Amino acid sequence: MPHLVKTLSVPTPPVRKPGSAWAELPRPAAAGAAPAGHVRIGYARASTIRQSLDTQLDSLKTACVTRAFSEKISTRATSRPELERVVALTRELRASGVAVTLVVHEHKRLGRGIELAALAEQLKAGCR
């Protein structure tokens, strides 16, 4: 009932779209409950194929990340698949009550200016 979503202000997870197979989603954490755990997710990005990710990946390893995502793609690219996977995983973990820290070598690896602000809003939206 799509019209009820707007009327009742019920957030609909992206996996709940018409025609998709049903799968049980993680239960939301109770309000005020302590996190069920903590995960550190790393993201590394180089702007060109010729640039190396080694320094960034070493930095992430030193920061004890649980899982690292990396890609070689320009900041100007409108779609960054690995960053999108990081955001999706972060939402999924937070929905199940796990605290998540996103670790990057430099903040410019995530984006610049308005892109960085939009990403911050995306990540904040996942914890409401």
Residue 13 lies in a domain: no
Look up the pTM and report it.
Answer: 0.66
Name the one residue in this structure whose structure tokens are 């690995």: 82
Q: How far apart are CA 128 and CA 123, in angstroms?
A: 10
Residue 111 lies in a domain: yes
Helix (H) or strand (E) holding 102: strand 98-104
Give the model confidence (pLDDT) of 107-122 as tens digits: 777 776 667 777 777 7
Residue 117 lies in a domain: yes
C-alpha of 64 from chain center: 18
Residue 80 lies in a domain: yes
Residue 104 belongs to a domain with what CATH number?
A: 3.40.50.1390
Residue 98 lies in a domain: yes
Give the model confidence (pLDDT) of 31-66 as tens digits: 666 667 889 999 999 988 899 999 999 999 999 998
How many domains is the chain built from? 1
